Amino acid sequence: MRSPIQSTIINKQSVVLVDIMASHILPEPKITLVKRSPDPNIALSQNWIKANRAKYYGRWVVLKGNQLLADASSSEELLQKIDPTDGKGKLITVIY
């Protein structure tokens, strides 16, 4: 049977061994920050939603900035109303 001191030494050695193994197996994490200019359409769309929430509550809408392009009662119906190949800069959402 090991004494508490021997167990402590073995446990500390195990921790050190795991640390050493992890430093060789796992690479140092790399975090890359990309600064992007904010899309002004996002703020415009958010403002449109705030101003028109009651009128379009429960409906699906397509917005480009503060302009409503289409609305429908379901996402399927909405997607039939818009050009799916021209999705750049559009926000598709349901209003709640």
> What per-residue confidence (pLDDT) applies to 4?
47
- Compare 60 and 15 and report the one with higher pLDDT: 60
Query: Hunting for tokens 């397509």 — which residue is that?
Result: 62
Sign (positive/negative) of CA torsion 64, 67, 69, 75? positive
Region 78-88: mean pLDDT is 83
pTM of the model: 0.60
Q: Above 60 in pLDDT, residue 93?
A: yes
d(CA 74, CA 69): 15
Distant-in-sequence, close-in-space partners of 41: CB < 8 Å, separation ≥ 6: 64, 65, 89, 91
The pLDDT value recorded for residue 80 is 92
Between the CA of residue 55 and those of 31, 59, 79, what are the distances in Å? 43, 9, 20
CA torsion angle for 55, 76, 69, 38 (degrees, to 10)?
100
Query: Is residue 96 scored above 80 in pLDDT?
Result: yes
Q: Is 78 exposed, middle or buried (0-12, 13-18, 19+ CB in 10 A)?
A: buried
Q: What is the pLDDT of residues 7-47, one digit of tens each?
A: 444 455 556 656 666 666 767 788 888 887 788 889 999 99
